[in-house]
Structure 1
């Protein structure tokens, strides 16, 4: 997609201050569905325990939680609307925990008119092709969907992201995982971030879009935060022209500076210098997103069992990306058995063997020897790598 097209998409959708609208609407809530008695300022006070008891008995909240969430519901005089809301949500596939999550984030949802506010939204999501479980997942991750006007807010946002990601199906796929990207402000966040990446960082738009299709959250960071991520990548020496640059940004946004520094120190104990750490990140940035325990087990296996030096692992840091249980250990056991039978010379390096696809690995190192060394298939079956071969 060309630069003009991108900016045209953003400009067309720039009059959608979605969060601002939702916040204002939150203040006044759904005026059409608020209890009429509250709207005209009725001064009679209901039983102070009424709402708390309802939240405990009907929703399953603890008394302390109910007391906290009951405050926005002080105007309730009957259970008619809350009952309708709860019955509707149960009919749509929400379990008790899911209902409590939605209500805890916005207790006033219990006051809406189901037919006017909720039913049309659920029908719209079904019409998009989402299943019942898909809709539940999307709403639990993005409860703000329930406060959107379908045609005034949701549809324009959907079409804008469709233009950016390439398909409506891809937008919905991400929406089921996390909707943080979906609600970002176009003028204050998306447009400045894309302009920064393409114009100031010099990253080709095609490369930006490639990353966005799998990680749209990258451009939803606050512009200041995105610039800080770029500065961190620059410190690691990742060239902005490199194809790894955006992927490095994507990993860094999920790893705090404290966690990053902890990994630097952790790998130093294995003998890596800071320059080796930076080099390893430039080649395979995903490893810094792993837990320290996972890194420890992988480093110990490669050093103690396989016999690699720490510097060798730093130079080939992609080794840390392979699953220890599903790939590294089974393949190591296979190669060791082949060596013990004199069927594998030193010509085939273990690093090469690890990079082969499962199919290629079987074809080259297992199936040719299955008659003479049937134990090879047993090794892979035990590890869950090979089934029915």
Structure 2
């Protein structure tokens, strides 16, 4: 069974011996004795609504936001613990926006004991080798870490994901960028999804692993949600044996049915048939991740400027993935200038030129002619892809066009 094999593969490491006795205590910080609170500092108020003003003045919330987020804090009569929490978060690198995001997610963080509840989580992440800014990113994206016991929950969860993804570095990379995948239940979500993809869909484990390492969110979906994505891929005619099947699931996870249909209509307006659209998606579904506007601009350029037919574009959907401004347009202008001066016969297809490495493009089309045709470098500099005479950088995709 997948679950048994994965459990067997878990590496049991004593990551944090210092935290063996660490427990998450969701308790009130304050004493009912006003004199005791006064002795240790902090503002004391008999007004049960004083936390509204505190959230405005100390965190920068608006009055309406503060009124909303103060509701779980009506029991507080002192700012001693909230002050300690805010001072600690600032000392760890959180700015005002980060603190507001944290508190708006759960205002009760202001009631946590810094030494017992918060500091161990930060130390746990630092002991994994994360920098201060990395720790801030991880907690901003996964604030639930602050609610979990280090030794009983965080360490075992790290070990599970480390065994699934093959390295701790990959787990930490996704923790810094992604939300919530780390907290998916192994028994209710991860193992059932793996079993479904392997046993019912017939997808080899190594193929699942390749996508899992890049997109752990996919395997973290609720089983019913993952099954719904498989249905969408089946309806498109994507063979489950195809190497693109898992990537199609990932794209569908990020592209709603409404956005999908909008792209169908857009490409139909350019002349794509239903079969051409399905064929293009089966060859490379990633073009569906682009915004409508970026997809439209790329297709218009290839049709009106380069001279490709819609059917040809459908047969070569990968050309739609490259940056229009930083790769496609400047390379097209370079080759057109060379042709106009009789320095290039045009024997190499432009679809091949688009996918050339930066070095190969420079060595083939730019450097041999930079003395006689200095305008080539001007074209690349204007696109922001050329610095100096011999340094060349091109983006592999247009980040602004992806959504």
Q: How does the TM-score come out when normalised to structure 1?
A: 0.91
CA displacement 1:235-288 (0-9 Å, x = unmatched)? 111111111110111111000001100110111101111111111111111111
Q: Classify the secondary structure of the residue corresponding to 1:182.
A: helix
Instruction: Say whether residues 1:100 and 2:95 are aligned partners.
Output: no
Q: CA deviation at 1:33?
A: 4.3
Structure 1 unaligned segments of length 5 or more: list them.
Answer: 14-28, 39-44
Counterparts of 1:82-101 in structure 2, within 5 Å, are 82-101=82-101
Q: Give 1:8's aligned residue.
A: 5
CA displacement 1:103-122 (0-9 Å, x = unmatched)? 11111110111111111111
- Distance in 2 between residues matched to 1:267 and 1:126, nearest whole Å: 49
- Distance in 2 between residues matched to 1:12 and 1:210, nearest whole Å: 18
CA displacement 1:144-202 (0-9 Å, x = unmatched)? 01011111100000011001111111101100111321000111111110001011111
Q: Give 2:139's aligned residue.
A: 139
- Distance in 1 between residues matched to 2:356 and 2:254, nearest whole Å: 29
Instruction: Say whether residues 1:333 and 2:333 are aligned partners.
Output: yes
Counterparts of 1:169-188 in structure 2, within 5 Å, are 169-188=169-188
The question of whether the paired residues in 2 share the 8 Å contact of 1:229 and 1:253 is answered with yes
Counterparts of 1:230-249 in structure 2, within 5 Å, are 230-249=230-249
Q: CA deviation at 1:381?
A: 1.9
- Distance in 2 between residues matched to 1:129 and 1:313, nearest whole Å: 46
CA displacement 1:22-67 (0-9 Å, x = unmatched)? xxxxxxx9344444549xxxxxx94133111111111111111111
Q: Give 1:125's aligned residue.
A: 125
Change (3 A) 1:75 1:11: farther
Q: Give 2:25's aligned residue.
A: 30
Instruction: Say whether residues 1:351 and 2:320 are aligned partners.
Output: no
4+ residue segments displaced more than 4 Å: 10-13
Instruction: Say whether residues 1:214 and 2:176 are aligned partners.
Output: no
Q: Give 1:200's aligned residue.
A: 200
Instruction: Say whether residues 1:293 and 2:293 are aligned partners.
Output: yes
The question of whether the paired residues in 2 share the 8 Å contact of 1:10 and 1:191 is answered with no
- Distance in 2 between residues matched to 1:70 and 1:374, nearest whole Å: 65
The question of whether the paired residues in 1 share the 8 Å contact of 2:48 and 2:75 is answered with no
The question of whether the paired residues in 2 share the 8 Å contact of 1:35 and 1:75 is answered with no
- Distance in 2 between residues matched to 1:269 and 1:46, nearest whole Å: 67
Q: Give 2:303's aligned residue.
A: 303
Q: Classify the secondary structure of the residue corresponding to 1:253.
A: helix
Q: Give 2:162's aligned residue.
A: 162
The number of residues matched between the two structures is: 365
Q: Give 1:272's aligned residue.
A: 272
- Distance in 1 between residues matched to 2:248 and 2:100, nearest whole Å: 37
- Distance in 1 between residues matched to 2:241 and 2:9, nearest whole Å: 30
Q: Give 1:381's aligned residue.
A: 381
